[in-house]
Amino acid sequence: MSVVIPDDILQAAGMSEAELRLEIAIILFQKYKISIGKARRLAGMHLIEFQQELAKREICVHYDVEDFQADLKTLRKLGDL
């Protein structure tokens, strides 16, 4: 699906297409609508860049106890723990 935003809307907002994509990606990520992977793709950024942008805005990366336990399980499988 494609969404077309008229140029006059971007101009009125004082934003470039890339800036608008980033804002949309961050909003959707903050509202738990999309994962960080999908958000960074929507923003057109590498994961580290997107995480740095989140940190700059003091937005926490969604990482809960279940994620931590899954990571521990993976590390144990790999023999790293």
The pLDDT tens digits of the residues spanning 28-56 come to 999 999 989 999 999 999 999 999 999 99
Residue 17 domain-assigned? yes
Residue 2 domain-assigned? no
Number of domains in the chain: 1
Say if residue 13's pLDDT is above 80: yes
The two three-digit tokens of residue 29, written as one number: 């990520």
Smallest CA-to-CA distance from 51 within 66, 75, 35 is with: 35
**Considering the entire predicted model, what is its pTM?**
0.74
Q: Which amino acid type is present at position 6?
A: P
Give the whole-angstrom CA distance, residue 2 versus residue 15.
19
Asked if 54 and 26 count as a contact pair (C-beta separation under 8 A), the reply is yes
Smallest CA-to-CA distance from 29 within 15, 43, 46 is with: 43
Q: Which amino acid type is present at position 34?
A: I
Domain assignment of residue 67, given as a range: 7-78
Residue 1 domain-assigned? no
